[in-house]
Structure 1
Amino acid sequence: MCLMNAPEDDRPDESREQLLDLAARFPDDAGVAYRAACVHDRLGLEAEAVPFYERCLAGTGLPDEDRRGAFLGLGSTYRVLGQYTRAVETLRRGIAEYPDDGGLRTFLAMALYNTGEHHEAMHLLLDLLAATSRDPSVQEYRRAIALYAGDLDGTG
């Protein structure tokens, strides 16, 4: 789930081959691993993207924006592959490092839904909605939405 504009965007098949070669020659380069994960994701090769995501997150030197993207990408990829528990674990790790990242929280809510944790998923989404929505009717009820997010079973 990479949202970066990179040379591999134009010719992903060709870029994949180049990145596989680079990843083999520079196995400790977190940036190369991240770009390799991204190109595999773009090509719909999610299972092949996983080891590259794991490698870049285990490494050092990845800029924050890419590290956040790697947590989101790996968590989303695990979810697509039906590995919901691993998706939740990965996205929670990402949120531990980047607690204000709405994308990570949104994808965590989806993974929680898949694990049957509907209450926590709804709580996360309502909190995010109350905190970030610009919709005037949501803003009007922001306090109530935030209150109910904390106590979904409450009646007021």
Structure 2
Amino acid sequence: MIGNERDTALAEAIALREAGRAEEARARLVPLVEQHPGDAQIAYQAAWAHDVLGLEREAVPFYEWALIGDGLAAEDRLGAFLGLGSTYRAFGAHDKAVAILRRGLAEFPDDAGLTTFLAMALYNAGDAKTAVESLLRVIATTSTDPQVAPYRKAIELYATDLDATHA
């Protein structure tokens, strides 16, 4: 499939998913992945279509291919890390979730979404302390709640060591 045909087929599949016709999108995307095995963008869209349909386990290889393939925009790469990490966590592969979300944070260190999903995976993996500390950092840096703002400095301090006492 020539570049323009590929682009048209991909755009049509994305439009179908966005229109709520995820099964039709999936039916178009799976053959596209086969025709373009190294195309990260197609693999990512196939993963997304599977996820929308509740086919999380089937989405995993597409997410993995998206992360090792070429041509994925940063925003979509971030989405692939989130999607794969969240999917691993959802079906109990907590160590894999932690690993992929940490990999994502290595590339996107300030992303609150990745940090939040990592906190959930850490909690599930038995590291509640690190999970809560991570969530405190997210709250301190992202909250615009007027009830939180006056305590931002204290929240940031405790996020560095939740067990510490500060007098």
User: What is the TM-score with the length of structure 1 in the denominator?
Assistant: 0.95
Secondary structure of the 1:99 match is coil
In the alignment, is the contact (CA less than 8 A) between 2:16 and 2:24 conserved in 1?
no
Question: How many matched pairs?
Answer: 152
Structure possessing the higher radius of gyration over alpha carbons? 2
Structure 2 unaligned spans of 5+: 1-13
Moved over 2 A (4+): none
Matched, 1:96 2:101: no
The offset of 1:89, in angstroms, is 0.1
Query: What is residue 91 of structure 2 aligned with on the other side?
Result: 81
> In structure 2, what is the Cα distance between the partners aligned to 1:77 and 1:23?
20
Give 1:40's aligned residue: 50
Kindly provide the amino acid, as one letter, of the partner of residue 106 in structure 1. Answer: T
Can you list the C-alpha shifts for 1:68-120, whole angstroms capped at 9, x where unaligned? 00000000000111100000000000000000110000000000000010010
Higher relative contact order (CA 8 A, sep 6+): 1
Which of residues 5, 13, 16 is equivalent to 1:7? Answer: 16
Mapped to 2, the partners of 1:43 and 1:137 lie a distance apart of 38
Inter-partner Cα distance in structure 1 for 2:105 and 2:52? 24
Identity over aligned residues, as a percent?
Answer: 58
CA distance in structure 1 between the aligned counterparts of 2:102 and 2:15, rounded to whole angstroms:
27
Give 1:81's aligned amino acid.
F
Residue type matched to 2:16 in 1? P
Question: Hey, what does 2:31 align to over in structure 1?
Answer: 21
RMSD: 1.0
Q: TM-score, normalised by structure 2?
A: 0.89
Residues 36-60 of structure 1: per-residue CA shift (max 9 Å, x gap): 0000000000110000000010012
SS of the aligned residue for 2:129 comes to: helix
Given residue 49 of structure 2, which amino acid in structure 1 is its aligned partner?
A: V
